[in-house]
């Protein structure tokens, strides 16, 4: 079933720089955002807000990004999950798709892993104002 363009995005980031970059991309398209840095903060935010999408760092250690994605799929299927990762991380990307229902990726630059690559993936769509072309579907 199709959805309208989400208006509230929760970002679980491994560091402030990446969290702020992804939040800026969403805000540029008129979204409200909230950036958190731990799985605990993410769970609390989901219980306190009406979250449309969650964008989680699935590579950073100790923040539980993949676990949060899987939890959302199972307990909050209306929240659409996206992942932050380096391109080519096939194993973790496959886990995010298969178990977390990942709908797309925000890639980090190869030579500058503290920077979101705005030339490809979901980030490119936000930069080019192509968000309206994305079909959001329930993962449940």
> For residue 1, is it within any domain?
no
Q: What is the CATH number of the domain that holds 75?
A: 3.40.50.2300
Q: Which domain holds residue 104?
A: 8-133
> For residue 139, is it within any domain?
no
The helix (run of H) or strand (run of E) holding residue 13 is none
Range 40-65 burial, b when 16+ CB lie within 10 A, else e = ebbbebbeeeebbbbbbbbbbeebbb
Q: What is the pTM of this model?
A: 0.85
pLDDT of residue 107: 93
**Total domain count for the chain?**
1
Exposed / middle / buried, residue 97 (Cβ in 10 Å: 0-12, 13-18, 19+): middle
Convert the pLDDT of each residue in 19-35 to its tens digit. 999 999 999 888 899 99
> For residue 127, is it within any domain?
yes
> For residue 20, is it within any domain?
yes
> For residue 2, is it within any domain?
no
């Amino acid at each position: 079933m199709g959805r309208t363009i989400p208006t509230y995005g929760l970002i679980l980031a491994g560091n402030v720089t990446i969290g702020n970059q992804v939040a800026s991309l969403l805000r540029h398209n008129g979204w409200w955002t909230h950036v958190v840095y731990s799985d605990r903060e993410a769970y609390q935010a989901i219980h306190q807000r009406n979250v449309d999408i969650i964008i989680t760092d699935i590579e950073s250690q100790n923040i539980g990004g993949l676990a949060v994605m899987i939890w959302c799929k199972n307990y909050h299927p209306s929240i659409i999950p996206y992942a932050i990762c380096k391109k080519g991380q096939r194993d973790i990307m496959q886990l995010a798709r298969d178990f977390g229902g990942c709908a797309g990726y925000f890639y980090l630059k190869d030579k500058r892993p503290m920077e979101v690559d705005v030339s490809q993936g979901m980030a490119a769509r936000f930069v080019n104002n192509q968000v309206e072309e994305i079909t959001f579907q329930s993962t449940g």
